[in-house]
Amino acid sequence: MKSYDSIIIGGGHNALVCANYLAKSGQKVLIIEALKKFGGLAVDREFFPGFRANTASALNQFSEKIASDLNLSSHGFNSKTDALKNIALDLSQNHVYINEDSVIGVSETDAQNFNQYKSLLKKFADVLKPFWLKSIPRLKNENIKDLLTFVEIGLKIRLMGKEDMREFLRVFSLPTRDLMDEFFDSDLLKAALSWDALIGSSQAPRSPNNSILTLLYRMSGKHQGHYYIPNGGIDSLIDALVSSAEEAGVEFMSETLVKEIIIENSQNGLKAIGVKTHNSEEIKADRIISGVDPKQTFINLVGAHNTEIEFSNRINRLRSNGYVAKFNLALSSLPSFMGLDSLRGRMLIAPTMDSIEFAWDDTKYGDYSQNPVLDMIVPTLFNPSMAPEGKHILSANIMYIPYQKKGGWSEEDKNELTEKIIDTISQYSTNIRDNILHSELLTPLDLETEFNLTGGHWHHGELALDQMLMMRPTYEAAQYRTPIDKLYLCSAGCHPGGGIMGAAGYNAAKEIIK
């Protein structure tokens, strides 16, 4: 029977990154993926004959270090593309255009304040940036290298200078609304800048806690938080990760659902020794690395009977219900949006911060938003091969759509929500409805079913202060290790979190190779 140094469960981008580093260090690695194709939420799926869409449809923070370490450009990944401007759509066609370093369509005061806002947040994002590609040590740790990480964090913050340090400590836990109100007058601008602090979380503009930290996390990307679509689309990143892993000797098994992590008793307590697949095949390895979400890993694959009760309770209590739905349209031709010359940007429909807050209010009591807010792109403008010639797709993220709807999700609910979304977009585009050949709505529950992702959460678990850093996913399973010997984690459910970044996969590999 074949045996491996490492088996990675799930073939998302984090698993692919982890596999690359492990194989390059000399390990024999097998990745097992439930779906036909690798890439997780970044994979492209045909949602209507001839029309393909990725759930994660644009990049904003994929690590340049990983791209360069793995020489992904030699495998066809070309990230040298301009950032997408964010276009905050206005019903009176006074749209606001947000570029990396400037904003157009607002008062002179707002435009000047934008520069101040950007330079302040960029400074803060730069301080945090090195820590996303590092394991964050447990607090009670006597290892000198780990202690130095804490010293480094403290020092970086202190070296900003007294005023900036105070400002950083004040700002990072502010509700997004307060920060935006401090800087700007334009409702559209405030709502658009809030968006990346909130999307993927159960936070709205008035929520305190960590939304600014999430914004700073996203701003660590090469375009300061702006999205981009690489030449060749998101697929080119996934294809490059697969090709480089293949070159390093990684083996791939697709259309295979892992049903169980095989655990045995050893001198060190419980130890992971292999996996059992849906067709009862057992495959052994020296270590098992889970690239799937923490709840699935511990509750379904390890089994609560193999963990301490306190630990399984903690895992059960992880907040991992998603609030973002994916909405794809197959279009017969490029729609026009009122007052827009070009659709080469990320368009936002969220007129005010209150519109986002009200959308959240509906959802927190178990309904979906009656007036959804959304962002959308037309990926075929960057990668025409995603639709038949001359045709297009529109890909949108809708907030806030609960995983658990009061009374459960029915087809009627989904049809009603689909109509609401199309009505919302139609306020800005008079011909979109006539162009629709097909629509697809993936609620967080659908994302759970499609990708085996518990709760359908953007980050595999809420990115909140109590589920971050050395507490991600929980204190006992941080640093990519788990209470079970030889069982590791490498997905977005670990530090630093989700988004197509690769950091969790990278950090896990570094911990394993240590």
Ligand X SMILES: Cc1cc2nc3c(=O)[nH]c(=O)nc-3n(C[C@H](O)[C@H](O)[C@H](O)COP(=O)(O)OP(=O)(O)OC[C@H]3O[C@@H](n4cnc5c(N)ncnc54)[C@H](O)[C@@H]3O)c2cc1C
Question: What's the min distance (Å) between Cβ of 279 and ligand X?
Answer: 12
Question: What's the min distance (Å) between Cβ of 171 and ligand X?
Answer: 24
* Cα–chain center distance at 120: 24
Question: What's the min distance (Å) between Cβ of 112 and ligand X?
Answer: 31
| Type of residue numbered 280 | S
At 368, list the tokens.
Answer: 């979906």
**Run of H or E including 330:** strand 324-331
Cβ atoms 331, 390 nearer than 8 A: no
Question: What's the min distance (Å) between Cβ of 459 and ligand X?
Answer: 6
Question: What's the min distance (Å) between Cβ of 42 and ligand X?
Answer: 6
411 Cβ contact partners less than 8 Å away, ≥ 6 residues apart: none
Total residues found in the chain within this entry: 514
289: phi then psi, degrees, rounded to nearest 5: -120, 125
Question: What's the min distance (Å) between Cβ of 297 and ligand X?
Answer: 9
DSSP class of residue 137 equals P
Nearer to ligand X, 290 or 435 (CB): 290
Nearer to ligand X, 153 or 350 (CB): 350
Q: CA-to-CA distance for 32 and 497, rounded, in angstroms? A: 22
SS (H, E, C) 259-302: EEEEEEEECCEEEEEEEEECCCCEEEEEEEEECCCHHHHHHHHH
Nearer to ligand X, 153 or 288 (CB): 288
Question: What's the min distance (Å) between Cβ of 494 and ligand X?
Answer: 8
Nearer to ligand X, 276 or 420 (CB): 276
| Type of residue numbered 502 | G
Nearer to ligand X, 45 or 156 (CB): 45
Alpha helix positions (H), 136-186? 144-158, 162-171, 176-183
Nearer to ligand X, 188 or 445 (CB): 445
Nearer to ligand X, 111 or 304 (CB): 304
Question: What's the min distance (Å) between Cβ of 145 and ligand X?
Answer: 26
* Cβ neighbours, 10 Å, residue 37: 15
Three-state DSSP class for residue 367:
coil
Please report, for residues 296, 302, 482, the alpha-carbon distance to residue 308 in angstroms, rounded to integers and kept in the order given: 16, 12, 12
* Cβ neighbours, 10 Å, residue 208: 14
Nearer to ligand X, 194 or 443 (CB): 443
**Residues forming the site for ligand X (CB under 6 A):** 9-15, 32-35, 40-42, 55-60, 257-258, 291-292, 296, 322, 324, 326, 397, 447, 451-453, 458-459, 491-492, 498-500
Q: CA-to-CA distance for 223 and 229, rounded, in angstroms? A: 12
Nearer to ligand X, 296 or 312 (CB): 296
Nearer to ligand X, 248 or 377 (CB): 377
385 Cβ contact partners less than 8 Å away, ≥ 6 residues apart: 233
Cβ atoms 18, 287 nearer than 8 A: no
Question: What's the min distance (Å) between Cβ of 506 and ligand X?
Answer: 12
Question: What's the min distance (Å) between Cβ of 361 and ligand X?
Answer: 21
